[in-house]
Structure 1
C-alpha cells in the first residue's frame, strides 16, 4: 500500500507543476503535503487499520487535484481525477470508494462528518487552524482570493473573517485534534482577537486625531493667518527684487550709452558743431535716467533705536532691521521675548512690516515709471534733435 501512496505523491507533484495556475498560492502542492502530514499525525495517534490509513493518506494527497479544472465543484473534479489515477494503478474498488467518500467530505464543511474517516480527513484539511503556521497559511489564502479576483479583503475584513471562521464555522472532531490542535487554535484565536482590539484602538485614535485636527482647523484661523502673512511678505519681497533689477538695467544701459557718447562723439564735436546740442540732450536725459534709477534703489535707514516704552506701547516694529540695528543684543532679545508673549503684537508688527514694505514699493515703482518714461522720451527727443540738426546742416 505504501507504493500507491508514494505514487500518488509523485502524481500530484507533477500534476500541480504542469497544470495548476500560479494564482493558486494556497491550494497547491504545499497545502496537500501539509494535509498529508496532519493525517499521518492522526493515524499514528489513533486506532486506524492499514486499509483505512491508506484511504486517508490517498484522500489527503488527492483531495484538491480538482483545482486544476477550477474552483467551483473542485471536490467532484478531484474525485474524477482520483478515481482515474487509482484505477490506472489497479487499486481495489473499496479503497477507491473510501477515497471518494473522504474527498467529498471536505466539501460539506457545515455538516457533521458521518464516520471516523470523514472526521479525520476534515480535521486534517483544516489542521492549519491549530498550527503555528496559521497566520502564514491564512495570508496565502487571502492573496489567492485577490489574485483570482474573487474578493479583495482589507486587513480588517480578513481579520473579522478569520475570527468568524474560528469561532462559528469550525470545530475539530477527532480525539487527537481536540487534544493537540485545539489549544493552538485557541491561541491563534486569542492573537486574532488581540489584533482586532489593537486595530479598533488604532482606528479610534485616528478618528479622534482627525476630529481634533478638523476642529482645530475650523475653530482657529491661525494657519490661514500665517499663510496670509507668509504669502504677502514673499510677494512684496519679489516685487522689491524686480524693482531693483529694473533700476539696475536702467543704470547699466545708460552708463553704456554715456560711455559710448563720450568716447565717440565728443572728439568729433570740434568739426561738427551741429552735433553739440543733440549730444547734450542725449547725455542729459541719460544722466537724469541714471539719477532716478539710483534714487529708486537708494536705501532709507531709520534711527535704529527703540525704548522700553516703545515696546510696552507696542509702537515699534521689531521685524524691520531699521528699528533695532543700533540696539544691543540683550535689549533686542528682551524686546523679542515681549513681542512673542502677545500674539496680537506679533500680528501687528507683521502688519506694519507689510504696510511699510508696500509704501517702499509704491515709491520705487513710481520713480521707476518716471525713469522709464524719461528714458523713452529722451531717446525719442534725442533722435529727433539729431535728425533736425542734420537736416539744417545740409
Structure 2
C-alpha cells in the first residue's frame, strides 16, 4: 500500500473515530473534495510526480487537526501529519514541504511557491462549485453548532459576498482560467439574493415578517436537510467502495483458482511434482476462504417487506428503507408516507434511523473486508513460503 493510500485510510479512520459530529462541513467529504481538486489542478499545472505526491498528502492531512480543535487547526494538522509521515519513514525534507503546504491553507495566508498556490486553490475550489450555496449553508449550520454563531439570511449572504469579492482570489493559471468564471457566477447569484432580500424587506409589513418567522420555526432548516443529504451520499459512496474492493478480491482469487486448476493441478499426478501438492492446496484453500468472506461482505439481507397501519400509528416502521414496504400495495404505501410527512418528528427519526442502519451495514462490510484482505495476505505469504520450501527440499 502506498503512503498516499495509507494517508487516505488514516484520515478516514481518524475522522470516523475522533471527529465531532458537529463538524458537518469540515469532515471527510470536504477533505476528499480538496484532494480531488488538488489532483486536478496539479495535473493541469504539470506538477512532477514527487511534488504531486506531496500535494496529495498535504490535501489528505490539511484538516486532520479538527479532531483536536478548530482553533489553529492547521498547526494541529501539521503535528498529526509529521507523526503519521515519520511512522511511515517519509523523508524529512518532504515532511517539511508538506507542513508548509498545510499551513498555507489558513485563511489570510498568501501562498509563495507554485505548490502552495495549487493547494490554496484546491482548498478554495468550493467558491466555484455549482453547489456553492448548499455547501455554504452547511458551513453556516456547522458554525451554529460549534461556535453558537447565528446569521440571518441577509447577514450570511453579505458575509459570502465579502469573502468572494474581497477576501479571496485564485492563484494558479488553471484556476484563474477555469474556476474564476464559475466563482463570478456564484458571486452574481449572491448579489441577486441580497437584492431580493432587500426588496422583500422593504415591502414586508411587520405582520408579514412575524408570520414568516413563525413559518420558519416550523420548517426544517436548510443546513439540516443538507447534512442528511451529504451524509447519505457519503454512506452510499463508502458502500460502493466496499463493494468494489470485494469484487477485486473475488476476481483476483477466481483467477488464482482458475490458473491453479488449469496449470498446476493436472501436473500433480506426476511423482516429480509431488512436492507441489501441499503448496498448491494451501494456496487454493486460502483463495476459497477469501472468496467466501468477500461474498459475505456483499451478500444482501432481505427483510419481510410488510407493515400494518398500527405499525405506522406507533411509528415503528422506517418507510425510507425499501425492505420494509416492497410487498405492500401502492395505496397503503402512499397513505403511510403521507402520515409520516405530517409528523416532523417521525420523518426526521426515520431519516436518522436510515443513516444509523446504513452505518451498521457499512461496519459489517468493512469488518468482513478487513478479514478478507488479512486472509488473502496471509495466504499469499504462506503459499509463496511453501513453494520456496518445496523447491529447496526437492
TM-score scaled by length of structure 2: 0.52
The equivalent position to 2:190 in structure 1, one of 189, 192, 195, is: 192
Corresponding residue number in structure 2 for 1:10: 9
Q: Residue 339 of structure 1 aligns with which residue?
A: none
**Alpha-carbon contact 1:65-1:81 (below 8 Å) kept:** yes
Deviations 1:126-181 (Å, cap 9, x if unpaired)? 11001112112111110000011341111111110000000110000001111111
Kept in 1, the 8 Å contact 2:104–2:110? The answer is no
Alignment match, 2:225? none
Number of the residue aligned with 2:42: 43
* Residue 194 to residue 95, structure 1, CA distance change in 2 (3 Å): same
- Higher Cα radius of gyration: 1
**Residue 111 of structure 1, CA deviation:** 3.7
C-alpha change, 1:208 and 1:65, in structure 2 (3 Å) is closer
- For 1:252, the equivalent position in structure 2 comes to none
Q: Is the 8 A contact 1:51 1:95 kept in 2?
A: no
> CA–CA distance in 1 between the matches of 2:184 and 2:207?
34
Quick check: 1:25–1:144 contact (8 Å CA) kept in 2? yes
Aligned-partner Cα distance in 1 for 2:31–2:21: 15
Match of 2:247 in 1: none
The unaligned stretches of length 5 or more in structure 1 are 212-394
Match of 1:119 among 87, 110, 117: 117
Deviation at 1:192, TM superposition (A): 0.4
State how far apart, in whole Å, the 2-side matches of 1:62 and 1:171 are: 23
Secondary structure of the 2:66 match is helix
Q: Contact 2:41 / 2:174 at 8 angstroms: preserved in 1?
A: yes
Equivalent of 1:148 in 128, 146, 156: 146
Partners in 1 of 2:208 and 2:189 — Cα distance?
Answer: 28
Q: Per-residue CA shift, 1:43-70, capped at 9, x if unaligned?
A: 1101211111111100111000000001
Residue of structure 1 in register with 2:89 after alignment: 90
Q: TM-score, normalised by structure 1?
A: 0.52
SS class of match (1:181): helix
The residue that corresponds to 2:136 in the other structure is 138
In the alignment, the residues of structure 2 paired with residue 209 and residue 144 of structure 1 have an alpha-carbon distance, to the nearest angstrom, of: 31
CA contact (8 A) 1:59 1:102 kept: yes
* Distance in structure 2 (CA, Å) of the matches to 1:130 and 1:209: 38
1:347-383 deviations in Å (ceiling 9; x for gaps) = xxxxxxxxxxxxxxxxxxxxxxxxxxxxxxxxxxxxx
Query: 2:104 aligns to what?
Result: 105
**1:71-109 deviations in Å (ceiling 9; x for gaps):** 1111000000000001101111122111100001112x3
- Equivalences for 1:240-259 in 2 at 5 Å? none
Match of 1:23 in 2: 22
Partners of 1:70 and 1:150 lie apart in 2 by 16
